[in-house]
Amino acid sequence: MKKLTLITLFLLALGLTGLHAQTLFVKETSGTQTEYLLSDIKMMRFSSGSIMVNKIDGNSDDYDISGQGYLNFTDLSTGIVPIAFKTNEIEILVYPNPIANVLNIDIESFKSKNQTGTFIDLRDGKTYKTIKIGTQTWMAENLAYLPAVSPASTASETAKLYYVYRYHGTDIKAAKATDNYKTYGVLYNWPAAMDGSGSSRANPSGVQGVCPADWHLPSDAEWTQLENFLIANGYNYDGTTTENKIAKSLAATTLWNKSSNTGAIGNNLSVNNSSGFSGLPGGYLLYGGGSIRYVGNYGCWWSSSEIYQNNATASFGRGLSYSGSNMLRDYSFKVYGFSVRCVRDD
pLDDT greater than 60 at residue 156: yes
Residue 142, CA atoms < 13 Å, CB-side half-sphere: 29
Say which residue, 257 or 56, is predicted with more confidence: 257
State the pLDDT confidence band at 1, using cuts at 50, 70 and 90: low
Where exactly are the structural domains of the chain? 2-111, 116-344
- Model confidence at 105: pLDDT above 80: no
Per-residue model confidence (pLDDT) at position 29: 62
Instruction: List, for residues 163-196, the tens digit of each pLDDT value.
Output: 999 999 999 999 999 999 999 999 999 999 999 9
Among 57-61, 194-198, 271-275, the range with the most confident prediction by mean pLDDT is 194-198
Confirm if 252 and 273 have CB atoms less than 8 A apart: yes
Please check the confidence at residue 61 and state whether its pLDDT lies above 70. yes
Radius of gyration, CA atoms only, the chain: 22
DSSP 283: B
Q: Are β-strands 2-11 and 60-64 bridged in parallel, bridged antiparallel, or unpaired?
A: parallel
**Given a cut of 70, is residue 17 above it in pLDDT?**
no
- Give 315 or 4, the one with higher predicted confidence: 315
- Tell me: cis bond preceding 212? Omega within 30 of 0 counts: no
- pLDDT single digits (tens) 281-316: 999 998 766 789 999 999 999 999 999 877 778 999
Tell me what the pLDDT averaged over the chain comes to: 81
> What's the pLDDT band for 103 if we cut at 50, 70, 90?
very low
Give 279 or 70, the one with higher predicted confidence.
279
Sign of the dihedral through C-alpha 192, 198, 200, 204: negative
pLDDT recorded at residue 4: 44
DSSP secondary structure of 232-262: HTT-STTS-SSSS--HHHHB-SSSPPP--ST
Using a 10 angstrom Cβ sphere, with 0-12 exposed, 13-18 middle and 19 or more buried, the burial of residue 4 is buried
Q: Are strands 2-11 and 70-75 parallel, antiparallel or unpaired?
A: parallel
SS (H, E, C) 183-216: HHCCEECHHHHHCCCCCCCCCCCCCCCCCCCCEE
Q: Is the pLDDT of residue 36 over 80?
A: no
pTM to 2 decimal places: 0.70
Nearest Cα neighbor of 16 from 64, 85, 66, 87 is 85
* C-alpha–C-alpha distance, residues 102 and 252, integer Å: 34
Confidence at residue 318, expressed as pLDDT on a 0 to 100 scale: 98
Report residue 117 CA to chain centroid gap: 15
Residue closest to 300 by CA, chosen among 235, 223, 241: 223
